[in-house]
Chains A and B, each alone.
Chain A
Amino acid sequence: MAQDPAATLKRLLWRTLARADAVCNRLYGWRYNPLYHSGALVVALFLVLLVTGIYLLFFYRLGAPYDSVAHLTAQPSLGRWIRGLHRYASDAAVIAVALHALRLFAQGRSWGPRALAWVTGVLLFGAVLVCGWTGFVMVWDVQAQVLAQEGARLLDVVPIFSEPISRAFVGERPMPGAFFFLNLFAHIALPIGLGLIVWLHVSRVARPKLLPPRGLLWGSSIALLALSIVWPVTMGPPADLFRLPGPAPYDVFYAFWLPLTRALPVGAAWAAIVAVTLLLLLVPLWTRPRAAHRPLPSVVDEQLCSGCEQCFLDCPYDAITMTPRPAATAAAGRSALVARVDPALCVSCGICAGSCAPMGVGPPGRTGRDQLGAARAFAAARTLASSDVVVIACDRGAAALAHAGASSGVHVWPVSCAGNLHTSVIELFLRAGTGGVLVASCPPRDCWNREGPQWLEQRVYHDREAELQERVDRRRVRIVAAAAAEAEVLLTAIARFRQDIAALAAVPGERDVTDLIRLCEAEEAMR
């Protein structure tokens, strides 16, 4: 079978990112791993930019842009620190946006119902770069001059202005104050537009996490402030329209494209810009799996649905609504409402399968019922001893590692997302005689389906609807967060769990688990 280049690229990227994740988890813990919060970090950095930008605005003079920034930079403390923080935060924002986009691309979260987020994300990236362009032009040093002149060269082929914009930058007349005013206006107006696009960007996810955890928010701001103190930002020589720009400092994050477009004739530069933009905008099309491999949206079995609304509450993509029950399934004692999945919004994450106590919803083949059936077959095919553990491992993360490290007495049962897991599967394995069940999920903020581990934890320990039954001995159940490249974390957790289980008195297995489904149903009926 021919290798799909997009899939190969994705796999390579994912492998690299997973390694970086493992390093950051080790050093900062998964709660504060910045790679897990790249999108939210961009929003946090915007806030830093807003606050520092307001301060800088008091010092900027349209009539003497270079001198006013130079004056600020020469201040021994606050002025230059805040200018540094503003600069470094904008640089960090580009890195965070790029990491955020690469991560979602590598995880294949770029098509279908996520296409809107992807396309608005590309627009956001473009707007961030243009906003940075106006910011650097404000300084009016050599870098600003080159950015302005190159921007004008590119814009002059677009037939919107009758007078070439390039004529503003020839020195024939002094630089008009109106230019700096317009530029400043754009620099302030663009972030407002950006805010609107962010709103659209997250409009299809439920409960978007717009800010990173407080520790990371403050930590990153303080780290950038410290950087601006120990490594103050400088300025290039002032712009001189009567000199070809010589060596000067350039910001790679916002001016990376200069050497590329300057080397090209203006038509070719535009062709390259349009090609790259199209390539990015069309990612939702070229990363979409072929129809046969596309995961199917969730389906509700209205006969089973009891109208409890839990899937509606848990769906991380707001794809479920509660609607009046159709006449076909109406009967005395049945709920007035049933859940309905909008296939255009459903990403097939499977979280609803774990939400539904009566097992009435989920993507085909992955509902609670399907899980129980598969788990029963799994248990029947082997002997589960009281010293054994079943490791229920998320396919995206730990499953591969668990398989690699599986030794005798460790049975790996993969699940498409830990958040998909119906808790009765845990009970089934324990009743079948295993000493303990370890659920290996991805670290919560790394969940490809956004909220899987969070709901799982609440179902197992905090009685969230579709909870693990009270009768289940919690000492024999454990959840561990292990990222895709964290073999050691997982293997250590398995070893420790087995030790703890060995210390518990051995319980004889029931072996007969066929009554479990009946039991679940009976309990549901009693509610």
Chain B
Amino acid sequence: MTRRVLGILLLAVAGVSLAILSEAPYAATPPNRALIRLSWRAYSEQVQACRRLTPEELERLPIHMRQEEVCERTILPYRLLVSIDGTAVTNILVRSGGAREDRPLYVFHELPVAPGPHRLTIRFEREGEGETRDAAEPIPEREARETPPRLALDEVVVLGDRAVIVVTYDEEQRRLHVLAGREAGS
């Protein structure tokens, strides 16, 4: 009898522990934090660099692959410069994505800040512009597809406790802009 009661009691204790551990309170971020998140995609200028192969290099290739001139296409990187309240916090080179670097450029960058107003200055500028362009493509079409060579944002943003704002690139208006919770929805 007591054994049965104890058995049920142990089962109950195990069950309640399971339920408690199943919903344990935890705050993934402590209070008094806020975050500026930069996230956009950019299509940069594609350039083609061609050179002639030396006779020795040609020699090493199988006959059916021997071409006098080889051309390499690359996508130009952008430099991302961010300062918050006049202090430079980020200076990075953003290269195009993909293992062969033939995909668009992706910016994903998070900057923790204290809640409150901040002056946010961002510059996103193409590097190495004006080198050999891919001459085959007409310029207007290319420019319509490409992200402008220079983007900038200079704004005072106000962040509440635990707020996140997102700076992104608006492909229609061709400019950087700030998204905050209510207008964007999730």
Contacts and interface: CB of A to CB of B under 8 A. Distances in A.
A225 B106 CA distance: 47
Interface stretch (A193-201, A205-213, A237-245): A237-245
A223 B41 CA distance: 52
Interface stretch (A108-116, A250-258, A290-298, A484-492): A250-258
Given A246-B162, A252-B24, A240 B186 contact: yes
B35 A244 contact: yes
A26 B34 CA distance: 55
Contacts of B163: 242-244
B23 A250 contact: yes
B23 A251 contact: yes
A465 to B, nearest CB: 38
Interface string B151-173: 00000000000111110100000
B18 A227 contact: yes
B19 A250 contact: no
Contact of A146 (B28, B37, B179, B180): B28
Contacts of A170: 37, 39, 108, 166, 168
A276 interface: no
B186 A246 contact: no
A163 interface: yes
A248 B29 CA distance: 11
Contact of B166 (A95, A174, A233, A242): A242
B162 A243 contact: yes
Contacts of A258: 26, 28
Given A95-B18, A226-B15, A242-B181, 6 more contacts: A164-B106, A170-B108, A171-B186, A175-B186, A227-B19, A250-B23
Secondary structure of the B contact surface, majority rule: mixed
Contact of A171 (B99, B104, B166): B166
Contact of B23 (A162, A226, A233, A241): A233
16 contacts: A27-B10, A88-B18, A142-B28, A163-B103, A170-B166, A174-B185, A223-B11, A223-B15, A227-B15, A227-B19, A231-B19, A242-B165, A242-B166, A242-B179, A248-B25, A259-B26
A248 B26 contact: yes
Interface residues on A, range: 35 or more
Nearest to A140: B186
Contacts of B63: none
A159 interface: yes
A28 interface: yes
Contacts of A383: none
Interface in B1-56: 3, 6-7, 10-11, 15-16, 18-19, 21-29, 31, 33-35, 37, 39-41
Interface residues of B, number: 45
Contact of B108 (A167, A226, A250): A167
Contact of B41 (A92, A163, A248): A163
A174 B186 contact: yes
B62 interface: no
Given A27-B3, A233-B23, A249-B24, A162 B164 contact: no
A356 B78 CA distance: 78
Contact of B26 (A87, A95, A159, A250): A250
A162 to B, nearest CB: 4
A252 B40 contact: no
A246 B164 contact: no
Q: Which 4 A-B pairs have the closest CB atoms?
A: A242-B181, A162-B97, A249-B23, A162-B98
Nearest to B4: A27
B157 to A, nearest CB: 13
A247 interface: yes
Given A91-B18, A163-B103, A242-B186, A247 B166 contact: no
A234 B24 CA distance: 11
A246 to B, nearest CB: 6
Interface in B37-90: 37, 39-41
Contacts of A246: 27-29, 31, 162
B39 A167 contact: yes
B6 to A, nearest CB: 6
Contact of B7 (A27, A156, A159, A244): A27
A247 B28 CA distance: 7
Interface string B90-117: 0000000111000110101000000000
Nearest to A90: B22
B184 interface: yes
A164 B104 CA distance: 11
Nearest to B108: A164
Contacts of B16: 227, 231
Contacts of A91: 18, 21-22
Contact of A245 (B15, B18, B29, B99): B29
Given A166-B108, A172-B40, A252-B22, A26 B184 contact: no
A162 B103 contact: yes
Contacts of B104: 162-163
A163 B97 contact: yes
A148 to B, nearest CB: 12
